[in-house]
Amino acid sequence: MTEVGIDGIEVRTGKLKLDLAEEFAPAQGDDPEKYTKGLGLNASSFPDVYEDIVTMGANAAYRLMERKGLEPEDIGRIDVATESAFDHSKPVSTYIAGCLEQRYPGTFHHANKGERKFACISGTQALDDAFNWIRAGRNRGRAGLVIATDTALYERDDPGEATQGAGAVAMLVDEDPDVAAFSVEQGYGSADETDFLKPDQQFPSVDGKRSVQVYLARMREALEDFESAGGDTHPDNFAFAPFHTPFPGMVSKAAVLGYRHAIRGTDVEEELVEEIGRQPRREAFDDDEAYLEAVTEYTDALAETDHYRDWYARTIEPTLTVSREVGNWYTGSVHLARVSGLLYAAEEGMDLTGKRLLVASYGSGAQAEIHAETVQEGWREEVGAIDIMDRVADRTPITFEEYEAIHDVHNRDEETDMEPLTTPEEEFVFDGWGRMGERKYTYVE
Ligand code: COA
């Protein structure tokens, strides 16, 4: 069967940068290492005054189309994944299509457009929709455009404030992809949870500590479900394991639990017997409490082994590089982790063709999904064209006071007039309001 997957990727970050150690921590009266070491974040990206989820998404999609030599008639669907939408009816994909149509003679009138919502996991769900549409043979030779775009803002002084971020990842889904082909096997862990939600409000109500536990619980279910679907989870069989990364510290918690689960009954567990013993098995304990205590002890010891540390340094750490500098991009975050791993591989001259990725997505509310991907021959050229690290380096640093003003600019309950801190060039920008309350956009040469 023809492979279907990601044929091209483009990434756009918000153009402003708040340094957490230099600006945020002192203003909060916190030790900077709480952020840099505890959460694993150095900085957050924010959109300038003229940027939002539409401009970031449209700018990423436009560069992707230009790079791949595509016209609107080559695209059969545009799915936007976001949890920062500003309209309960008209999807963000229509705004993005409207932007793109300013740049092409043709239109997207033939393209199916939608908006996917399920907290941070909807980018992965939108990829899945495009995959299924192509596999069902309904695409008539056209590709799907999936755009995960978010401005991840929290209420001021919420514990989540340090994890904010803004950016978009645009992905082209097609047959015979150049970057990565999706596995048919996938696993889910899904439950009705109230860890993070936005009931008719812009900023989330968050039970942060609980959200961490729910992430871990649903991820475990997804891993087991993936295995039950025949998915291979042996940790040494994957070049990278990109996780949803609300902050890198979350991934380090999840990775060791996933590793422990995946090495059970394998050669790796055997190799570690002399050093840390075998994994505790439930049947050897009288009660859950004693068993859980033994499991925690084993996990702590596992995390300290060279075996685990080497695996983490090889398979997980490279996926966190971009996230450390830009914060949480919600729907785009796991896709940024994939990009981060691939950028590292290109830089290191690794031969990734045919190698596998284990992709672990999560959205609060809550659902985790795990699937595998096989890296395709054209990956190096495609990844070489992604300029996100230059864009990250080019961001304009902002002071804490400027951050406060920018947070207000993007707060829908505040009326704030502020001059932009950067100058737009060759990009779509927010251009004011229309007569029905719609947001309007224009392209600046
Ligand atoms: N040096 C080094 N590490 C430090 C530190 C210091 N000076 N101060 C704190 N830390 C560590 C803490 O030990 C903790 O690590 P641990 O969890 O491994 O113990 C980490 O930094 C964060 O500190 P904590 O006090 O737990 O932070 P917090 O309660 O203010 O906020 C969240 C953490 C996750 C609750 C918060 O960021 C949040 O609500 N985020 C939004 C929701 C989210 O992203 N959830 C994830 C699942 S989607």
Domains of the chain by range and CATH?
4-444 (3.40.47.10)
Q: Which pLDDT score is estimated for 231?
A: 96
Closest ligand 1 atom number to CA of residue 162: 37
Q: Which of 10, 23, 244, 335 is catalytic?
A: 244
Q: Is the CB of 33 under 6 A from ligand 1?
A: yes
Catalytic residue among 99, 120, 407, 427: 120
Active site residue 120: yes
Peptide bond into 385 cis (omega under 30): no
Taking CA atoms only, the protein residue closest to ligand 1 atom 12 is: 38
Q: How far apart are the first and last CA of the chain?
A: 44
User: Which tokens belong to 289?
Assistant: 């409490």
Exposure string of 30-49, with b = 16+ CB inside 10 Å and e = fewer, is: eebeebbeebbbbbbbbbbb
Question: So what's the pLDDT on residue 232?
Answer: 97
How much distance in Å is there from the Cα of 187 to the middle of ligand 1?
28
| Known catalytic membership, residue 244 | yes
Q: Is 208's C-beta closer than 6 angstroms to any atom of ligand 1?
A: yes
CA of 197 to the centre of ligand 1 (A): 19
Q: Would the CB of 39 count as within 6 Å of ligand 1?
A: yes
Distances (CA, A) of 343 to 48, 95, 302, 383, 387: 26, 30, 29, 6, 10
Which one of the listed residues 10, 23, 83, 317 is annotated catalytic? 83
Cβ–Cβ under 8 Å, residues 367 and 118 = yes
- pLDDT tens-digit profile, the chain (445 residues): 789 999 999 999 999 999 999 999 999 999 999 999 999 999 999 999 999 999 999 999 999 999 999 999 999 999 999 999 999 999 999 999 999 999 999 999 999 999 999 999 999 999 999 999 999 999 999 999 999 999 999 999 999 999 999 999 999 999 999 999 999 999 999 999 999 999 999 999 999 999 999 999 999 999 999 999 999 999 999 999 999 999 999 999 999 999 999 999 999 999 999 999 999 999 999 999 999 999 999 999 999 999 999 999 999 999 999 999 999 999 999 999 999 999 999 999 999 999 999 999 999 999 999 999 999 999 999 999 999 999 999 999 999 999 999 999 999 999 888 999 999 999 999 999 999 999 999 999 9
| C-alpha to C-alpha distance for 123 and 333, rounded to whole angstroms | 9
Model confidence, pTM: 0.98
Residue 21 has a CB neighbour count (10 Å cut-off) of 17
How far away, in angstroms, is 246 Cα from ligand 1 center? 11
Which ligand 1 atom is nearest residue 196's CA?
42
**What's the pLDDT tens digit per position in 182-230?**
999 999 999 999 999 999 999 999 999 999 999 999 999 999 999 999 9
C-beta 31 within 6 A of ligand 1: yes
Ligand 1 pocket check for 163: Cβ under 6 Å: yes
Nearest CA to ligand 1 atom 22: 38
38 CB less than 6 Å from ligand 1?
yes
Tell me which residue has its CA closest to atom 27 in ligand 1.
159
Structure confidence at residue 1 (pLDDT): 78
Cα of 174 vs centre of ligand 1, distance in Å, is 39
Q: Which atom of ligand 1 is nearest to the CA of 362?
A: 48
Known catalytic residue at 83: yes
Ligand 1, residues 211, 257, 300, 334: which to mutate, most atoms within 8 A of Cβ?
Answer: 211
